[in-house]
């Protein structure tokens, strides 16, 4: 028992769903006429409590109800009684609540809004995966162990006393026969109690082992390079992948240790679990890889790995593949708001601006990160904006120690197939998460809902498409506690 408890206290798992080290879900969408920014912090153990934060940017909201549902199956249509989210006394546009997620798997939170403009519903996917084992505090364990010893000794003592004195008259002392019988009964009772303890220990061990098997372990990506081709293999779970924005894998490759070069690639599946990618020109060195995949049931994961790549004279990037360059992390400017937005080939005269507030960035705070393309000479918005894989833009948030990676879309940190699966029951006129082309063309700015999971230094890689070219800009952020 002691060894298992010690192991349980030390056993931890890294990140969750499509983000390494960034388990929280951030989503911005519409519940009917109401625009909401929803943050869900999943539990680290399952069953466990998920924390919900909702900010409405639309006026007239009277109340919000929240309820958890399984993503698919019969339980997806069996709704428990919704909980009423609590409205903040200081900020009437801000609501909070908690929900129990009782089993592992993919869930969705139904957000029901009632207000002056009527009612609206929004579904937000959330994974319920145990990411750690919570150990018992040493003091609590010692107290429980002492109580268990007292309880077992008490049971044996009660059995002995009953066999020794139950048939005696008041005040009569037990003779040698009664005392001998009492010792025999106590020995038998001790064997029964020890058997019960052994049975309980064995049962607890089986339950503990079963829970450890359910603790989420991030996907690993093993790789090799032959010529200008990169071959990668997932260590498990590659038989039910579905396309996300037209690709089975979104692969970010970042040069180490300065992280000044990044590639956003889309390898092809060549056999179950194996992907290959033709590489462009690359310098020799070590690279970290983050490969996003989505399973048919809605679970999105990020596979990680590192690879040593020799100097490669490859082919130009085509299709949705792109590359970008930033300053080395040792020269990062954490106050910079404007950087050149570079296409994969050549230098662009367009800049990308991060509309950031003067206040410092804080960990575990939800933000809307707004970026816009402009002409640096005139400050005018850039035109000819196009959708990049169906979105106004894509962003990746990476910590400089590489323990955090999150691939985020304009609607949030949820993968598109997961979002579509969650919203199957939503009204058919709902377009949450889908970029619509307004009259006059697409805007030159894009917003990403996200929050940093911990303090530290981060790179923010933002990509948009303009006039047939994929533009990449790299920003740096220093996040405080």
pLDDT confidence band for 451 (50 / 70 / 90): very high
Whether the bond into 369 is cis, omega within 30 of 0: no
Which three-class secondary structure state does DSSP give residue 478? strand
Query: What's the CA gap between 327 and 340, in Å, rounded?
Result: 11
C-alpha of 400 from chain center? 19
Tokens of 410: 């304009």
What's residue 130's pLDDT?
A: 81
The Cβ-side half-sphere exposure at 115, using a 13 Å CA radius, reads 22
Q: What is the pLDDT of residue 430?
A: 44
> What is the mean predicted confidence (pLDDT) over 457-479?
95
Sequence-distant (≥ 6) Cβ neighbours of residue 445 within 8 angstroms: 355, 370, 371, 372, 373, 381
Q: Is the pLDDT confidence value at 322 over 90?
A: yes
Angle (CA) 133-134-135 rounded to 5° is 110
What is the reported pTM? 0.84
| Residue-level pLDDT at 178 | 83
What is the set of domains in the chain, with CATH numbers? 24-128 (2.60.40.10), 241-426+440-480 (2.60.40.10)
The per-residue pLDDT for 347 is: 57
| Angle subtended at Cα 462 by Cα 458 and Cα 467, rounded to the nearest 5 degrees | 165
**How many other C-beta atoms can be found within 10 angstroms of the C-beta atom of residue 288?**
18
Which region among 84-93, 200-209, 355-364, 410-419 has the lowest average model confidence (pLDDT)? Answer: 200-209
Mean pLDDT of 53-82: 91
CB 111 within 8 A of CB 122: yes
> What number of other Cβ atoms are within 10 A of residue 81's Cβ?
7
* DSSP summary character for residue 413: S
Average pLDDT, stretch 255-263?
96
């Amino acid at each position: 028992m002691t060894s298992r408890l010690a192991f349980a206290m030390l056993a931890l798992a890294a990140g969750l769903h499509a983000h390494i080290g960034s388990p929280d879900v951030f989503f911005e969408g519409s519940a009917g006429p109401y625009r909401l920014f929803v943050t869900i912090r999943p539990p680290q153990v399952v069953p466990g409590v998920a924390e919900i934060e909702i900010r409405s940017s639309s006026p007239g909201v009277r109340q919000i109800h929240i309820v958890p549902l399984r993503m698919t199956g019969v339980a997806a249509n069996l709704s428990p009684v919704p909980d009423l989210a609590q409205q903040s006394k200081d900020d009437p546009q801000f609501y909070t609540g908690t929900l129990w997620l009782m089993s592992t798997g993919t869930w969705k939170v139904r957000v029901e809004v009632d207000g002056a403009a009527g009612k609206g519903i929004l579904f937000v996917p959330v994974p319920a995966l145990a990411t750690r084992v919570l150990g018992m505090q040493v003091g609590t364990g010692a107290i429980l162990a002492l109580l268990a010893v007292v309880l077992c000794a008490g049971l044996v003592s009660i059995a002995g006393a009953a066999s020794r004195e139950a048939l005696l008259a008041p005040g009569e002392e037990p003779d040698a026969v009664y005392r001998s019988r009492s010792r025999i009964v106590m020995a038998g009772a001790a064997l029964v109690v020890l058997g019960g303890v052994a049975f309980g220990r064995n049962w607890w061990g089986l339950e503990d082992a079963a829970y450890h098997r359910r603790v989420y372990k991030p996907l690993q990506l093993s790789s090799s390079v032959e010529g200008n081709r990169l071959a990668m293999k997932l260590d498990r779970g590659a038989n039910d992948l579905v396309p996300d924005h037209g690709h089975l894998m979104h692969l970010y490759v970042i040069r180490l240790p300065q992280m000044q070069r990044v590639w956003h690639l889309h390898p092809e599946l060549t056999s179950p679990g194996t992907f290959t990618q033709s590489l462009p020109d690359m310098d020799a060195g070590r690279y970290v890889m983050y490969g996003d995949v989505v399973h048919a049931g809605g679970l999105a994961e990020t596979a990680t790995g590192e690879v040593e790549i020799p100097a490669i004279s490859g082919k130009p990037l085509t299709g949705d593949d792109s590359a970008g360059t930033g300053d080395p992390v040792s020269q990062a400017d954490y106050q910079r708001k404007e950087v050149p937005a570079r296409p994969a080939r050549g230098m662009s005269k367009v800049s990308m601006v991060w509309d950031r507030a003067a206040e410092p960035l804080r960990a575990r705070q939800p933000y809307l990160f707004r970026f816009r393309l402009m002409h640096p000479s005139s400050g005018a918005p850039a035109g000819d904006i196009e959708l990049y894989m169906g979105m106004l833009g894509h962003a990746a948030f990476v910590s400089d120690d590489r323990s955090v990676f999150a691939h985020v879309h304009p609607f949030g940190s949820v993968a598109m197939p997961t979002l579509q699966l969650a919203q199957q029951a939503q009204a058919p006129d709902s377009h949450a998460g889908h970029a619509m082309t307004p009259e006059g063309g697409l805007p030159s700015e894009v917003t990403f809902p996200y929050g940093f999971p911990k303090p530290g230094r981060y790179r923010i890689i933002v990509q948009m498409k303009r006039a047939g070219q994929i533009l990449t800009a790299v920003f740096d952020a220093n996040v405080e506690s």
